Structure 1
Amino acid sequence: MPVDELDTRILRLLIEQPRTSVREYARLLGVARGTLQARLDRLERDGVITGTGPTLSPAALGHPVLAFVHVEVTQGHLDEVGEALARVPEIVEAFSITGGGDMMTRVVARDAMHLEDVIQRLIQVPGVVRTRTEVALRERVPHRMLPLVEAVGRAARAR
């Protein structure tokens, strides 16, 4: 089922006021609590809402260095390499990609030496051919979903 205008209003509230109760969301939206809960359940079931936990800062956890590491993988070993990368705690995300490499990882580290240690561990993973690392200097656009939610809402209103 596509996301409609009420869904986008719900998502906006979840983003802007994540610690509010379902009862308060229903009051703010002017809908019955049961209606809101049914919408939330559907949005979760459909995979639109994928979590409700806090967003954590790697820097505040002592890992201020952020790098994107491209990983070239021996053909046929993508799954095995992905499983091995999932065991490295400093890898906070990994994606299989097209283009210059087979996987892209987001790696956090305490400092440059720690980043080098993490990269050395990656190179030792069976099936990893080579890596290429790009260190992030400054975040220019933080992770965000509200502009996308607003665009979806505008499209829903236009339908």
Structure 2
Amino acid sequence: MTRQTTVSLDSTDHAILRLLQSEARLGVTEIGRRVNLSQPAVSARIKRLEQSGVITGYQAVVDPTKLGLNLHAVIRVRTTHAHLTAALEHFAQIPEITTAYRLTGEDCFFLDVFAASSERLEQIVDAVARFGPVTTSLVLRTYDTKPVSPAHATPTAV
């Protein structure tokens, strides 16, 4: 079992991470202005965050409906331990499955799926069902996601 180590971050590192998660296209100079650091200091911090694995990449957020992917569904899959690897390999071959989560509990996987039509979603469900029982739910609306917060942040009211 691999052991994850926590990286020690200060409040400025957390501020930089919040900015990058909400506005990843900000220039280093602008980030420095917002966190009261010079451009070289911000560059060094970002490089350290990348090298330590805190920042794992950068990506564009795409609206699936603009690509004709008008159905958003989540599929829960229940399978056996013997089928886990084959299932993951199969999921990777289906481009409409954007995320696969391995779960504890009754279901083994939670799949995030964007499909162009109900017919295509049916094909995906049938393909996934070869590994075991599935439960499919359509997503009616997605609400804004929040950036990952520091572990030691002050808790807010629930």
TM-score (norm 1): 0.82
Displacement of 1:22 in angstroms is 1.3
**Aligned counterpart for 1:116 among listed residues 113, 122, 135:** 122
**Aligned counterpart for 1:132 among listed residues 131, 135, 139:** 135
1:99 aligns with 2:105: yes
Q: After TM superposition, list the pairs within 5 Å mapping 1:23-62 onto structure 2.
A: 23-62=29-68
Structure 2 CA distance, aligned partners of 1:46 and 1:67? 34
Q: Which runs of 5+ in 2 are unaligned?
A: 1-6
Displacement of 1:70 in angstroms is 0.8
Give the counterpart letter for 1:58 in structure 2: P
Give the counterpart letter for 2:25 in structure 1: R
What is the DSSP-based 3-state SS (H/G/I as helix, E as strand, rest coil) of the residue aligned with 2:99?
strand
What is the DSSP-based 3-state SS (H/G/I as helix, E as strand, rest coil) of the residue aligned with 2:17?
helix
Displacement of 1:154 in angstroms is 4.2
Question: Do the aligned partners of residues 80 and 55 (structure 1) sit closer, same or farther apart at CA in structure 2, a change above 3 Å counting?
Answer: same
Higher alpha-carbon deviation: 40-49 or 95-104: 40-49
Superposed CA deviations along residues 49-78 of structure 1, whole A, max 9, x for unmatched, are 222221112122111211110112232221
Displacement of 1:144 in angstroms is 2.1
Higher relative contact order by CA 8 Å / sep ≥ 6: 1 or 2?
1
Higher alpha-carbon deviation: 9-18 or 88-97: 9-18
| Residues paired across the two proteins, number | 148
Question: Do the aligned partners of residues 55 and 119 (structure 1) sit closer, same or farther apart at CA in structure 2, a change above 3 Å counting?
Answer: same
**Aligned counterpart for 1:18 among listed residues 16, 19, 24:** 24
Displacement of 1:106 in angstroms is 0.6
Q: Give the aligned CA root-mean-square deviation in angstroms.
A: 2.0
Identity among equivalent pairs (%):
30
